[in-house]
Structure 1
Amino acid sequence: MALKIRLSRIGAVHKPIYHVVVAEARSRRDGSPVELLGTYTPQSKSQPLILDLARAEYWLSKGAVATDTARGLINKAKKAAPAA
């Protein structure tokens, strides 16, 4: 079972909202995910990205592969997170 961290589109026409999900690599884009990690709303000015970094790191450590876009969003969330 190969897992990927990728985006699943929801929302209306011309108003996209994406779920950042962990899903099987061979499943459909909007199919049922293994886990929902967060949301990405590109048109939102206040808070476009809400992501659970701990769970994303967990799935990456278990062998899940992030797509290019998902990897960029994870890196953006890491930079925005307060240094602990």
Structure 2
Amino acid sequence: MLMIRLARVGARKQPHYRIVVIEKDRARNGRSVEVVGTYNPRTNPATVTLKRDRIDYWVGNGAQLSERVGKLLAQAPAAEPAITA
């Protein structure tokens, strides 16, 4: 089963995340199928960049959203690919 979830890529005490499509049982930073966005909580306000068309494609093919990614998508307007949350 595929999940759309966060994968941490930042240095120690400087978190930065990729929003990835990955197998559910893989490790947090394991090999992903596709990167569909980024999330940077260190900016003020936090920066979220999403590839909406690819997220919709994967959800249509059965991928599930993690709780955090679901919240990020709910905050994002539907028309804009890049937003600040």
TM-score normalised by the chain length of structure 1: 0.87
Structure 2 residue runs without a partner (length 5+): none
Could you tell me which residue of structure 2 aligns to residue 38 of structure 1? 37
Normalised to the residue count of structure 2, the TM-score between the two structures is: 0.86
Kindly indicate which of the two structures has a greater share of residues assigned to helix.
Answer: 1
Alignment of 1:1-84 (within 5 A): 2-45=1-44, 48-78=47-77, 81=80
Work out the CA distance in 2 between the residues paired with 1:61 and 1:68: 17
Task: Measure, in 2, the Cα distance between the counterparts of 1:56 and 1:14.
Answer: 28
Offset at residue 46 of structure 1 (A): 6.2
Distance in 1 of aligned mates of 2:16 and 2:79:
20
Give the ranges of 4+ consecutive aligned residues of structure 1 lying more than 3 Å apart after TM superposition: none
Q: CA RMSD in A?
A: 1.9
| Structure 1 residue 58, shift from structure 2 partner | 0.7
Structure 1 unaligned blocks of 5 or more: none
**Structure 2 CA distance for partners of 1:80 and 1:12, relative to 1, 3 Å:** farther
User: Secondary structure at 2:73's aligned position in 1?
Assistant: helix
Q: How many residues align?
A: 81
Question: For 1:40-84, what per-residue CA distance to the aligned partner results, in whole angstroms no more than 9, with x for missing partners?
Answer: 0001136610110111011111110001001111222235738xx
Identity, % of aligned positions: 37
Task: Give the deviation of 1:18 after TM superposition.
Answer: 0.3
